[in-house]
Amino acid sequence: MKRKGADLIIGGELVLSGYVMSDDAADWSWEEEAFFSPALVRDALLAMGEGRVTVRLNSAGGDPISGEAIRATLANHPGGVRIVVEGQASSAASLILMGAAEREMTTGSFIMLHNPRGYVYEGAEGMRAQADFLDMLARVYAQVYADRSGQGVDAVLAIMAAETFYTAEAAIAAGFIDALAEEAQPATPAPIINDSLRARMRREVNAYGALMRAHAPGPGPALSRDPAVPGGTPAPVAATMELDMPNETNPTTPPNPAPSPAPNPVPAAANPAAAPVPPAPDPQAVAMQERSRIRMLRDMATPFMAAGRLTEADLNALIDDGTSAEMAGSRFMATMAGREGVPAPRALSERGRDETETRRLGMEGALIARLSGRAPEDVARPYMDFSIVDMAAERMGARRVPGNFAAREEMLRMAFQSTSDFPVLLEGAMNRSLAARYQQAQPTYRRLARQRSYQDFRDHSTVRMGDFPDLQPVSPEGGELKGGSFSESKEKTSVKAYGVKVLFTRQLLVNDSLDGIMQVLNDRGDAVARFEDRIFYEMMLSGANGDGPGLNETGRQVFNTTDGTKAGTAAAINVTSLSAARAALRKRKGLDGAELELTPQILLVGPDKETEAQQYLYKGIMPAQAGSVNVFNDGSLSLGVTAKITGNAWYVFASPASAPCFEWGLLDGYSAPRFRMEDPFGVQGTRFSLEHDFGCGAIDFRGGYKNAGA
């Protein structure tokens, strides 16, 4: 049954508890969820009439725009609104609090202010636009807080940026609330204490303290008693234990005896209108009540004293000024908050965020372990049996996971389209699994080319320095060193953006079909590596006769007879042709004419030449005669095979670390392809774009050799 505004009215008061939700989101929320929305609040106020309304608020926040709509609604209510925070008013809920004419908090409550947050599935421009939008919201909301607190907008912006928590006392000091809420006290009649009774109480309690001291190991050193809060009444120096009650007028002297009754009292009959004098309370009961108060205060203070956040003087100050046990909690909190600065529980806030982040990383790690088949890390083990829907429900803070398909699908839809971090969790797990599969692939082009990083999509100049200048003799007269020079060659390569759309169906996600998702990731990881391989060989085998792209340095293709990078006569793979290839690489000269002494390392062939190449590189057969020795079966040449090379052509390359002919790279900051969520959860499922930025090109001719083959 759909929730109505009247459901928020309890005992004639408006109770706003749970998540601050937009009207649209409220329409598809679960009935048992704790939430409220602007439409529900307006309906409830309409049902309550135009008189004064009390609102009981306990919310961790939610949609900030909906929170502002509720604040404005409450601020414009004709009869005025009193809001009492019972628990917390955090994030958007603290904004709602600013709409009340009277703002109060119970002693154990807190409020929290921070910058608005959001999530965006866009490119860089969309993210920048979202950041600008959030900055605008922060300034608008800071003005609301500033108007109600009396602080400056800049000060409030700093408070919001720090994600600041306030106890009730601190919130009053900061101007965010007006007062502590009056709380109902037990219906025990307060004892009537006059001077005579007060004196007797002191005697009873001091006697009890003396009795306790007689059985105790002995008092510790005297401590100075400071007021528990600024502006409090200074307490006397403690020379006794906590149960000594000093005389109010002269703490160091015994209490004065009770004054004698006034002479000639008026008989009751002479003043029939006088109120009857109540009987004096039992002194022993009063003393026991005081001992109980002191014991409760000490029990409350003990853990904080052990942590070093309260002192014995703080406790004694509250004992001496008669603070009740009900009010002691707020006094202690105010004392600790004053010492630690605002916000007092800041470290607690950070621990909460760390714990939330730990849970998210644990779930992400569990998904990665299940998708990759690897052993999970310790932080992921508690979530290994969580389904995708289980994880979505946990990130949404849902109390249960529905059993039927429709409800589970709706849970996923809510997780994808809300401000929860579930989309980040799923996207992160998929990308890390995709990156691992991509990096396992070893396309042959990576053995031939040098890797680089591209800063952007513009053409990048590859500067290859010439030979290091030869050492020159040092002048014996002045000891001066002669200078040398470098030559350089500039070739240009660039990275390009590629992408394709991938759909994960609703059945795949709701049914937790991780095998299907894993298959997609494995296929895509291999597919991207194969795509890179194809792009590289299209470049390497381009141009006339497949001799490669032209170079700026020579104006010729990478493989040509002029530079000696291509055999003048096509030949099969044999000792003679391989010897010619090795000699060509050994004789290579650098930009400045010095010999490079390159060692051939890779023999690259197509499928048609693979067997022939293996015959000359195989090391298992020993020749019968020394003249039949195959010098290339010593393992100095490794075999590379790619189907991109057709026909009989074969190549020999030096190590790309010493003399690269080609280079390849990704966009700076990326080490693998990545998924980006486009449609969070549509009718058919969740649509991702698989994006990859890849570039390659020719940069030199010296490290390669081609034979057209026969």
Confidence label for 401 from pLDDT (cuts 50, 70 and 90)? confident
Round to whole Å and give the CA distance between 426 and 368: 10
User: Which residue range is the domain that position 587 belongs to?
Assistant: 493-621+630-707
Instruction: Give me the pLDDT at residue 432, please.
Output: 84
By three-state DSSP, how is residue 695 classified?
A: strand
DSSP label of 593: S
- CB of 687 within 8 A of CB of 502? yes
Would you say residue 222 lies in a domain?
A: no
For residue 72, give every residue at least 6 positions away whose Cβ sits within 8 Å of its Cβ, in sequence order, or none: 99
End-to-end alpha carbon distance in the chain: 81
Q: How far apart are CA 634 and CA 573, in angstroms?
A: 16
Fill in the DSSP letter of residue 595: B
Confidence of residue 274 (pLDDT cuts 50, 70, 90): very low
What's the whole-number mean pLDDT along residues 244-273?
A: 43
**Best-predicted range by mean pLDDT (205-219, 290-304, 472-486, 550-564):** 550-564
| pLDDT band at 438; cut points 50, 70, 90 | confident
Q: 118 phi and psi, to 5 degrees?
A: -165, 175
The tens digit of pLDDT for each residue in 334-379 reads: 777 666 544 433 333 333 345 667 888 888 888 888 887 778 888 8
- Section 502-519 average pLDDT: 75
Dist. CA 600–CA 573, nearest whole Å:
15
What pLDDT is stored for residue 283 in this prediction? 61
Residue with tokens 């006569």: 569
Residue 626: which pLDDT band, with cuts at 50, 70 and 90? very low
- Percent of the residues in the chain that have a pLDDT greater than 90, as a whole number: 34
Asked which of 119-128, 289-298, 613-622 is least confident by mean pLDDT, the reply is 613-622
Q: Which pLDDT value is given to residue 111?
A: 96
Confirm if 536 and 549 have CB atoms less than 8 A apart.
no
* Higher per-residue pLDDT: 529 or 625: 529
Instruction: Take residue 519 and report the two structure tokens written for it.
Output: 């298959």
Predicted confidence (pLDDT) at residue 148 exceeds the cutoff of 90: yes
Averaged pLDDT, 266-274:
44
In a domain, 398, yes or no: no
Neighbour-count burial of 294, counting CB atoms closer than 10 A to its CB (0-12 exposed, 13-18 middle, 19+ buried): buried
Instruction: Name every residue whose Cβ is closer than 8 Å to that of residue 445 and which is 6 or more positions away in sequence.
Output: 532, 533, 536, 537, 540, 642, 662, 664, 696
pLDDT for res 483: 55
Last residue of a domain, one of 129, 160, 180: 180
Q: Which of 180, 207, 234 is the last residue of a domain?
A: 180
Min mean pLDDT across 194-198, 262-266, 280-284, 489-493 is at 262-266
Pairing of strands 650-654, 600-605: antiparallel
Any domain includes 504: yes
Residue-level pLDDT at 628: 54
State pLDDT tens for residues 632-681: 666 678 899 999 999 999 999 999 988 899 999 998 888 899 888 876 77
Most confident of 55-69, 173-187, 317-331, 390-404: 55-69
pLDDT of amino acid 349: 37
Give the range with max mean pLDDT: 4-18, 287-301, 513-527.
Answer: 4-18
**Residue 307 CB neighbour total at 10 angstroms:** 9
pLDDT > 60? residue 125 = yes
In a domain, 272, yes or no: no
Looking at residue 426, what DSSP letter applies? H
Q: Which two tokens stand for residue 692?
A: 């990859």
CB contact at 8 A, 411 and 404: no
Percent of the chain with pLDDT over 70: 71
Q: How far apart are alpha carbons 695 and 450 in whole angstroms?
A: 12
* Cα(639)–Cα(444) distance, integer angstroms: 10
Note the helical H segments in 150-182: 153-161, 168-174
Q: What is the pLDDT of residue 183?
A: 72
Q: Residues 183-201, buried b or exposed e (16+ Cβ, 10 A)?
A: eeeeeeeeeeeeeebebbb
Average pLDDT over residues 56-77: 93
- What integer pLDDT is reported at residue 542 of this predicted model? 95
Q: What is the mean pLDDT of residues 139-166?
A: 93
Inside any domain, residue 602: yes
Q: Can you give the pLDDT at residue 488? A: 58
Tell whether 137 is covered by a domain: yes
Residue scoring higher pLDDT (157 or 281): 157
pLDDT reported for residue 466: 54
The answer to the question of residue 443 being in a domain is no
Choosing from 152, 180, 208, the residue where a domain stops is: 180
Closest CA to 107 of 84, 123, 127, 128: 84
Q: Single out the residue of 84, 91, 141, 132 nearest to residue 108, CA to CA.
A: 84
How high is the mean pLDDT of the chain? 77
Number of domains the chain is built from: 2
The single-letter code of the amino acid at 35 is F
Say whether pLDDT at 562 is over 50.
yes
What CA–CA distance (Å, rounded) separates 514 from 433?
12
| Backbone dihedral angles phi then psi of residue 661, each to the nearest 5 degrees | -90, -25
Neighbours of 125 (CB within 10 A): 8
The pLDDT value recorded for residue 296 is 77
Q: Is the per-residue pLDDT at 59 higher than 90? A: yes
The pLDDT value recorded for residue 126 is 81
Q: Who has greater pLDDT, 276 or 692? A: 692
Could you tell me which residues are beta bridge partners of residue 498? 692
Confidence at residue 479, expressed as pLDDT on a 0 to 100 scale: 61
Residues in the chain: 710
pLDDT value at position 541? 95
CA dist 169 and 175 (Å) reads 10
More confident residue, 129 or 166: 166
Alpha-carbon gap, residue 524 to 514, rounded angstroms: 15
pLDDT class of 199 with cuts at 50, 70, 90: low
Looking up residue 33, the CATH number of its domain turns out to be: 3.90.226.10
Please give the pLDDT value at position 709: 92
**Residue 56: pLDDT over 90:** yes
> Using 50, 70 and 90 to split pLDDT, how confident is the model at 682?
low
Q: What is the pLDDT of residue 582?
A: 92
Query: Three-state SS for 362?
Result: helix
Establish if 320 belongs to a structural domain.
Answer: no
The stretch 196-212 carries a mean pLDDT of 50
On whether the CB atoms of residues 409 and 501 are closer than 8 A, the answer is no
The lowest-confidence range among 58-67, 95-104, 405-414, 663-672 is 405-414
Q: Which residue has the tokens 């289980």?
A: 390
The answer to whether 323 and 294 have CB atoms below 8 angstroms apart is no
